[in-house]
Amino acid sequence: MKTSERISAGGVAYKIIEDRTEIAIIRTSKEGRWQLPKGIIDPHETPQQAALREVREEAGIRCELGEILGSVDYWYVDRWGDEPVRVHKYVHFFLMRYLEGDINDHDDEVEAVCWAEVDKAVDLVAFPAEKRILSMAKDLIV
C-alpha cells in the first residue's frame, strides 16, 4: 500500500458567556463523530492562516488567533482514490477566541456545529488526542 503524509491545522475556538467557557465542535457528515475543526494547509498558507480558514469554513465563525496548543499525529487509510493510501497525518492546533459569525454558516462537509461547555466538549470529541488538546486549552482559558 502506498504511504502519504498530510499536514493540517485547526483550532479550539472558544467564547466565554458569564462564567461559562464554550467550545465550537463539529460533526462531519462522512464519519458522524464530534471533533475539532481542522483541514489541510494549502501550499500558499501558514499553519496559522489555515487554522483560521478551516474554523471559518467548518464552524462558520471568525476568530482571533491565540497561541499554539500543540500538534497531534495519527495514521489512517484514505480510500477515496483508485487504490487505498496509508496516510500519516499531522495536525497543528491553535487556541482561538471567537469574534463573530454563526455556527449555522458552515460548509457542506460538516453536518452540524455546536457550542459545548468545555468539559462537555472534552467528553463529546471522538479522538483521544483532541481530548488532550481541549484539556490544554481549558487550562489556558480558565
Percent residues over pLDDT 70 in the chain: 99
51 class by beta-carbon count within 10 Å (0-12 exposed, 13-18 middle, 19+ buried):
buried
> For the segment 72-85, what is each residue's pLDDT rounded down to a tens digit?
999 999 988 889 99
Which one-letter amino acid corresponds to residue 64? E
DSSP string for 1-58: -EEEEEEEEEEEEEEEETTEEEEEEEEETTT--EE--EEEPPTT--HHHHHHHHHHHH
The gap between the terminal CA atoms of the chain, to the nearest Å, is: 45
Chain segment 26-62, per-residue pLDDT in tens: 998 777 899 999 999 999 999 999 999 999 999 999 9
Q: Give dist(CA 133, CA 94) in Å, integer.
A: 9
- Domains and their CATH numbers in the chain: 2-141 (3.90.79.10)
